[in-house]
């Protein structure tokens, strides 16, 4: 009787701890495990020249996403190593992204963009070893004329830790793509758009039970510049590979019709994954990003 009494007393005390002392905490954990938020990124607005020709738009690309809570799994070290090999990114970067999102984050985090067909196939082949990893289609920035007008248009890139801390109050989140330079940065609030998402109820295995709600993503606004694509091409051809700049203005209105600077760069590089070798070239002595004096021309555009 004493043994049974002690046994049931222990069970009762444990139930008291779980339901009363830690009830709210356990309820929150249960809700986090049951509900998942699948974010939907907005389509960034287009940038046109004065005649409506596209200077910057979006294209579809495959990205890899991860549920942050997998880091608490005993298999996480092996998963992390496998992902690093397949995606060709350092394990430290993977770990940093997961830790920054936090274990209790209910949303997926992007761990790689612009996947190659070989990487998509490899992730599918190893899917049984990579629970919590998903491949989805999203839009990335595309500049059809590559380096033409790059100092004016600028480029986009993923928020780093410092930028995220400064912009979190404005609704930005981990993995957001923002304008880093030129028109893309200056008109970021207009071009950005608004996030959407899907709220799902899942079971213990992660299978979807039902759709709880959804919000459609709102596309960003389009921008028309005073630049003329034909004049921009002519100015860039005239400058050639000589270091310098050419600016053509409308004498009647002061509108900027062409603005060219050499050296220039291809902003499409920043829409995908930048390798260490590419980044080293971008930081070279004759790189467009190194030539801060000419790159500063991008602040003088008209819309």
Condensed to tens digits (0 to 9), the pLDDT of residues 102-137 reads 777 767 788 888 899 999 999 999 988 898 898 988
As a whole number of angstroms, the distance between CA 91 and CA 81 comes to 6
Could you tell me which residues come within 8 angstroms of residue 64 by beta carbon, excluding any fewer than 6 positions away? 83, 87, 110, 111, 112, 115, 119, 123, 133, 134, 135
What pLDDT score was predicted for residue 162? 82
Strands (E), the chain: 35-40, 47-48, 54-66, 109-112, 133-142, 156-158, 177-179, 196-202, 208-215, 223-224, 244-249, 256-262
Tell me: the pLDDT tens digits for 259-275?
999 888 899 988 876 66
- pLDDT reading at 242 higher than 60: yes
Tell me: the pLDDT tens digits for 212-227?
777 788 899 999 999 9
What pLDDT score was predicted for residue 299? 37
Contact status, residue 49 vs residue 229, Cβ threshold 8 Å: yes
What pLDDT score was predicted for residue 8? 67
Q: Is residue 287 part of a domain?
A: yes
As a whole number of angstroms, the distance between CA 89 and CA 94 comes to 8
Last residue of a domain, one of 197, 224, 251: 224
Q: Are residues 160 and 82 in the same domain?
A: yes
Residue 236 domain boundaries: 229-300
Q: Is residue 21 part of a domain?
A: no
Last residue of a domain, one of 224, 256, 274: 224
As a whole number of angstroms, the distance between CA 187 and CA 245 comes to 23
What pLDDT score was predicted for residue 9? 75
- pLDDT reading at 294 higher than 50: no
3-state secondary structure 239-296: HCCCCEEEEEECCCCCCEEEEEEECCCCHHHHHCCCCHHHHHHHCCCCCCCCCHHHHH
What pLDDT score was predicted for residue 296? 37
Q: Are residues 73 and 160 in the same domain?
A: yes
Q: Is residue 12 part of a domain?
A: no
Tell me how many domains the chain contains: 2
Quote the percentage of the chain above a pLDDT of 70: 77
Q: Are residues 238 and 208 in the same domain?
A: no
Tell me: the pLDDT tens digits for 57-91?
999 999 998 888 777 788 899 999 999 999 988 99
Tell me: the pLDDT tens digits for 35-52?
666 677 889 999 999 999
CB atoms within 10 A of CB 246: 17
Strands 133-142 and 208-215: unpaired
Q: Band of the pLDDT at 5, cuts 50, 70, 90?
A: confident
- What's the rounded mean pLDDT across residues 226-252? 94
Q: Are residues 241 and 220 in the same domain?
A: no
- pLDDT reading at 177 higher than 60: yes
CATH number at residue 51: 3.90.1310.10
As a whole number of angstroms, the distance between CA 288 and CA 245 comes to 12
Q: Band of the pLDDT at 34, cuts 50, 70, 90?
A: low
Q: Band of the pLDDT at 286, cuts 50, 70, 90?
A: low
Averaged pLDDT of the chain: 81
What pLDDT score was predicted for residue 138? 86
Q: Are residues 294 and 173 in the same domain?
A: no
């Amino acid at each position: 009787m004493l043994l049974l009494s002690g046994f049931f007393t222990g069970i009762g005390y444990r139930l008291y701890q779980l339901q009363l002392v830690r009830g709210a905490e356990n309820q929150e954990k249960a809700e986090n495990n049951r509900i998942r938020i699948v974010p939907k990124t907005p389509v960034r607005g287009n940038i046109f020249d004065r005649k409506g020709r596209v200077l910057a738009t979006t294209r579809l690309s495959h990205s890899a996403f991860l549920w942050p809570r997998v880091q608490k799994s005993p298999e996480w070290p092996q998963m992390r190593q496998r992902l690093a090999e397949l995606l060709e990114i350092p394990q430290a970067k993977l770990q940093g992204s997961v830790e920054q999102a936090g274990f209790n984050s209910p949303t997926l985090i992007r761990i790689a963009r612009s996947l190659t067909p070989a990487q998509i196939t490899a992730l599918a082949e190893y899917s049984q070893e990579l629970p919590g990893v998903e491949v989805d289609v999203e839009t990335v920035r595309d500049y059809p004329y590559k380096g033409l007008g790059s100092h004016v248009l600028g480029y986009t890139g993923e928020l780093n830790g410092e930028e995220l801390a400064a912009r979190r109050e404005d609704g930005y989140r981990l993995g957001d793509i923002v304008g880093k330079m030129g028109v893309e940065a200056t008109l970021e609030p207009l071009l950005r758009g608004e996030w959407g998402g899907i709220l799902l109820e899942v079971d213990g295995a992660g299978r979807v039970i039902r759709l709880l709600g959804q919000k459609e993503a709102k596309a960003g606004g389009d921008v028309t510049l005073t630049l003329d694509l034909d004049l921009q091409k002519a100015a860039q051809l005239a400058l050639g590979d000589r270091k310098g700049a050419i600016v053509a203005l409308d004498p009647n209105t002061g509108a900027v019709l062409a603005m060219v600077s050499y050296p220039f760069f291809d902003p499409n590089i920043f829409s995908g994954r930048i390798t260490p070798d590419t980044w080293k070239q971008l930081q070279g002595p004759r790189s467009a990003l190194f030539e801060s004096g000419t790159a500063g021309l991008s602040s003088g555009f008209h819309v």
